[in-house]
Amino acid sequence: MTRATLTATPSDALQPTAIAITAAGFAPGETVRITSTLVDDAGVTWAAHGHFVADAQGEIDLATAPSEHGTYEGVDAAGLLWSMRPPSDTDRQFMIDATEKAHKLGSPQIDPVKPHVFELSASTDGQLRASTTLSLRRLAEGIEQVPLRDGRLRGQVFRWKERRLPDGRKRGCIFTFTGSGGGLELGYAPVLASLGYDVVCLAYFAYDDLPKFIAAIPLEYFEEGFQWAQQALGAETIAIQGASRGGELVMALASFLPEYVQGVIGIVPMYTTSVGWDPDKGFGGPSFTFRGEPIPHCGAGDDPDWDRMRRIGLAEPKGYALTPEYRKTLEEPETRANPLPVERAGGPVLLISGVDDQMWPSAWGSDLIVNRLRAKAFKHPYRHLCLKETGHITPFPNTVTTFTPAVLHSLLGIFLACGGTPAGTARTSRQSWDAMVAHYHSVFGY
């Protein structure tokens, strides 16, 4: 038996970095099981594996060698990272029984700024032949995480200790916004900061003493946030990013506060905003206001039957699909005649959607945004990246996507269909990440 090796290159990198996993020193044609494990902060062990056949040189490269069977099949360089499962495998009971928010969403519970540390091993016939460690960092050195509590502003800031770039220019600033789960957006934020930008995670509901739900939230709150960044961070250029309800929010901010925003990324966004919702008052009215007036929004539609939605969400393998109901409401003539004035945006626009979005029709909504920009002769660059095999969830590369087709909503407690496939979502994550990086290069010049 020859001495085998297992290598991850690079072995320490920022989370979205493409990782090459290779093995050598095996007999030609030998079947090798390669396994990845990750222990999260709650003590849950996530694992993935594949069975590979060594080539004529006794080598295996996951970028070219197919997994014949395991937690994923076929050729996928990142398969051992996205196909990880907890001990209960893909049973949704894992999410139902979970006490940690990340587990309820089907993800490892790991501090947002901590690296994800994977143990990789290669074995034949049950005998360990080689092992190595891979660390995917989420926050670069030189960044401090500080709370934001100024007036009514609430959130967290990832701020570079070196206030200027090496060439003396001021750093760009990105605002990131959460979706319908509320709280802070900490999935994208630390990684975006690691690219060299200051990042403000500005909460707007379901956090601290802010409103619990989205109803008549004034855009002036976000205007105060932009002004704070200009003064406290010295931000001369500001970009904004949000997903889902955060996606519609950033399109609204770009439309009504263009003097502050030089670039926008709407992830699974919509061409108008959703109706407001307060459990004490029900559905109705705007989600957001500006200068005391409602901004464009869709109608209330039919009152949802929450018990029915919960029953269907549990019974259906892919959860409760909201897209048909959303599409019906969003296509009403009054709503179609009341879109966001996105042509006012003050910089480049990037829209990222999933063809199979089952939460709401983000690809269709993004097309309507593009059509409006075209019709209004929008003067800045714009792009709609419509991802096949992807639904409502658009994570970074090298992220666990096993549970992405459905999500247990953290506020509603309903299994909602997201669409897409775990493998497809993982594959297209590289496209969305590359597009995001290119967008920020165009906005900030670095």
132 shares a domain with 147: no
* 240 pLDDT above the threshold of 90: yes
Determine the average pLDDT of the residues in 185-190: 97
435 shares a domain with 325: yes
153 shares a domain with 101: no
284 shares a domain with 167: yes
* 50 pLDDT above the threshold of 80: yes
Determine the average pLDDT of the residues in 176-180: 95
User: Which entry of 103, 297, 392, 439 is annotated as an active-site residue?
Assistant: 392
pLDDT of residue 442: 98
* 413 pLDDT above the threshold of 90: no
pLDDT of residue 91: 75
pLDDT of residue 305: 85
User: Domain boundary at 102, 137, 172, which?
Assistant: 137
List pLDDT tens digits, range 387-412. Answer: 999 999 999 999 999 999 998 987 77
CATH number (domain holding residue 118): 2.60.40.2240
Say what the pTM is. 0.95
Rounded to whole angstroms, the Cα distance separating 242 from 196 reads 19
In total, the chain counts a number of residues equal to 446
pLDDT of residue 101: 87
392 is catalytic: yes
Residue-range definition of the domain harbouring residue 223: 143-444
Show the CA angle centred on residue 123, arms to residues 121 and 126, nearest 5°.
125
287 is catalytic: no
pLDDT of residue 89: 66
Above pLDDT 90, what percent of the chain? Answer: 89
User: Which entry of 244, 274, 362, 432 is annotated as an active-site residue?
Assistant: 244
User: Which entry of 357, 366, 384, 439 is annotated as an active-site residue?
Assistant: 357
* 201 Cα distance to chain centroid: 14
Determine the average pLDDT of the residues in 255-265: 98
DSSP letter string, 365-389: HHHHHHHHHHHTT-SS-EEEEEETT
* 90 pLDDT above the threshold of 70: no
151 shares a domain with 129: no
Enter the DSSP assignment of 295. Answer: P
357 is catalytic: yes
Q: Where are the alpha helices (DSSP H) in 130-240?
A: 189-193, 219-228
385 shares a domain with 345: yes
Cβ neighbours, 10 Å, residue 107 = 23
273 shares a domain with 361: yes
307 shares a domain with 392: yes
List pLDDT tens digits, range 286-345. Answer: 999 999 999 999 988 777 788 899 999 999 988 999 999 999 999 999 999 999 999 999
CA neighbor of 91 nearest in space, from 424, 402, 399: 402
417 shares a domain with 309: yes
97 shares a domain with 62: yes
* 143 pLDDT above the threshold of 90: yes
User: Domain boundary at 110, 137, 164, which?
Assistant: 137
